[in-house]
Amino acid sequence: MIQLTIDNRVVQVEAGATILDAARKAGIEIPTMCHRQGCRPATSCMVCIVRLAGGQGFVPSCGMPAADGMAVESETDAVHEARRTALELLLSDHVGDCMGPCQAGCPAGMEIPRMIRQIAAGSLAEAIVTVKRDIALPAVLGRICPAPCERVCRRGQHDSAVSICLLKRYAADVDLASGRPYLPTCSARRGKRVAVVGAGPAGLAAAYYLSQKGYAVTVYDDNDKSGGGLRSPELASKLAGGVLDAEIATLTATGFTFAVGTRVGRDLAWDKLRAGCDALFVATGGLTAEEATAIGLAMDGTAVKINRTTYETNLAGVFAGGNVAGPKRRLAVRAVADGKEAAEAIHQYLSGAAVTGWATPFNSRMGKLKDGELAAFLAGADAGPRVANVDHATGFTRKQAEQEAARCLHCDCRKARACRLRDYAELYGARQGTYKAERRPFVQRTEHPLVIYEPGKCIDCGLCIEIARQHGERLGLSFVGRGFDVRPAVPFDGSMADGLRVAAAACAAACPTGALAMK
């Protein structure tokens, strides 16, 4: 047996084991990308790097044999910095977007491409779950949102953007008309109370997401009905047919209550309200200087001063969002996003955790497309024009919705939820632009019936080559090219369909970055 220490923890392993093997035996997590059990170590990504004590330097843990008396460091600042550098070098050569531009352009960060694919497949029960994970009022916003997501849709560079808002509205309208609208699973009640002042889009969204997290929420508003600015005369024609009331009813089904006709500060003192709750979210349309002084809130001009990440005010346990935090947040979709993000910060506060706010996922971005690259996206989408002549009163029909959804270019990564490069970039705070390089062209190889190959995402780990060999592929894959241009390919200029006859799914599952992904 070999005995070594990793982070001052003694570990014993059999001869021939690597440092990575020893770490896993000790329950120590070391990140890996190019490593796979049963495959020969490639040591290509260097993300599993550790440092040997005694001035022996950094080594890749997946390929370095454990030795008796070895002292290994895996969780020091120096090791983390080395891993971050390895990730940033990989990112500098990564050609692909984690999120589609539409999702990045949505103030609420909704996973728009996923919703569109679900609609195209007729999976509307799944589509509404995707939508309401980030947008509490999709039927309303589908009618009134100015659609900033559509302004950045890549399809617009070819003909016209995908009708994202109408698709969102379609999923929400079908859900409302179902007789059993989607009700998210709610956590058990936590025994803590949150007061929300203001029943506009920010307040409603905050109440909806806080109620799901198990808090007892009461929404106070001085109007006779909830909805805030959504009930303005200017929106009456767009929100006809009771859609606002119907959608609010889906939110209250999570268990929060209203105290309408109650003006806090007049009918209920602010200090009494604060004393009766564990946290407060201020989402009124605005506050006068006198009202802010009465509460004790610091103002920035006419807006309540907040931490833009956590929505915290200068008062402990008091958060604010929506129009009260500034005119730029008046946009309904921005207000709904404020409510969702503030709910997460309030949850962190009430749970005793560090209040860090809504976690924005890492997003690799390709940037502006080069000449000819748009064609690669268009190849997988329906060539038809944007669906026109839509009746605003009824929105899309099923046929129209599926036709429009088929126009989506699938700009987002097919393995965004299972990409280890993205996960570790987020974990170690890696930045894509640290090392500047001329980006390689965006290429998609789509000739295989099951998988898509994007060489610009490949990190040369060789796992697909090894798995194809293990599956007994006749041609399989091998490294071709020289220097920085080396990439896995089928020998003798064969197609992916020729090289991966039986191992395609296994190779896609093992790929750490989505270079190989299932269609």
From residue 413, how far is each of 41, 114, 416 by CA, in Å? 26, 10, 5
C-beta of residue 137 within 8 angstroms of C-beta of residue 165 = no
Do 252 and 333 belong to one domain?
Answer: yes
Task: Write the DSSP symbol of residue 264.
Answer: B
Do 382 and 337 belong to one domain?
Answer: no
Task: Write the DSSP symbol of residue 154.
Answer: G
Task: Write the DSSP symbol of residue 477.
Answer: -
Which DSSP string corresponds to 192-233? -EEEEE--SHHHHHHHHHHHHTT-EEEEEESSSSS-GGGGSG
Which DSSP string corresponds to 499-519? H-SSSHHHHHHH-SSSSEEE-
Do 207 and 58 belong to one domain?
Answer: no
Q: Which of 440, 462, 197, 485 is nearest to 342 (CA)?
A: 197
Looking at residue 227, its pLDDT comes to 96
Please report whether residue 90 resides in a domain: no
Do 29 and 177 belong to one domain?
Answer: no
Do 201 and 289 belong to one domain?
Answer: yes
Polymer length in residues for the chain: 519
Do 317 and 169 belong to one domain?
Answer: no
Do 510 and 466 belong to one domain?
Answer: yes
328 pLDDT exceeds 80?
no
Q: What is the 3-class SS of 75-131, one letter each residue?
A: CCHHHHHHHHHHHHHHHHCCCCCCCCHHHHHCCCCCCHHHHHHHHHCCCHHHHHHHH
Do 208 and 292 belong to one domain?
Answer: yes
Q: Which residue has the higher pLDDT, 411 or 285?
A: 411
What are the φ and ψ backbone dihedral angles of 225, each rounded to 5 degrees?
Answer: -130, 150
Please report whether residue 225 resides in a domain: yes
Do 67 and 105 belong to one domain?
Answer: no
Looking at residue 42, its pLDDT comes to 87
Looking at residue 40, its pLDDT comes to 87
Name the CA radius of gyration of the chain, rounded.
Answer: 27
Do 209 and 295 belong to one domain?
Answer: yes
Residue-number span of the structural domain to which 211 is assigned: 193-351
The band of 83, judged by pLDDT with boundaries at 50, 70 and 90, is: very high
Per-residue pLDDT tens digits for 226-279: 999 999 999 999 999 999 999 999 999 999 999 999 999 999 999 999 999 999
Looking at residue 434, its pLDDT comes to 95
CA dist., res. 201 & res. 140, Å (int): 10
**What's the CATH number where 24 sits?**
3.10.20.740
C-beta of residue 357 within 8 angstroms of C-beta of residue 310 = yes
329 pLDDT exceeds 80?
no
Please report whether residue 360 resides in a domain: no
Please report whether residue 358 resides in a domain: no
80 pLDDT exceeds 80?
yes
**What's the CATH number where 482 sits?**
3.30.70
Q: What is the 3-class SS of 427-469, one letter each residue?
A: HHCCCCCCCCCCCCCCCCECCCCCEEECHHHCCCCCHHHHHHH
Total tally of structural domains belonging to the chain: 4
Please report whether residue 288 resides in a domain: yes
| Helix and strand element counts for the chain (H, E) | 19, 16
Domain C-terminal end among 41, 75, 109: 75
C-beta of residue 515 within 8 angstroms of C-beta of residue 458 = yes
Per-residue pLDDT tens digits for 130-158: 999 999 999 999 999 999 999 999 999 99
Looking at residue 215, its pLDDT comes to 98
Q: Which residue has the higher pLDDT, 165 or 493?
A: 165
Please report whether residue 206 resides in a domain: yes
Torsion of CA 142, 143, 149, 151, to 10 degrees: 150
Average of per-residue pLDDT across 34-56: 91
Do 201 and 330 belong to one domain?
Answer: yes
Please report whether residue 162 resides in a domain: yes
**What's the CATH number where 268 sits?**
3.50.50.60
Q: Which of 221, 222, 206, 320 is nearest to 254 (CA)?
A: 206
Question: What average pLDDT is seen over the chain?
Answer: 95
Do 52 and 106 belong to one domain?
Answer: no
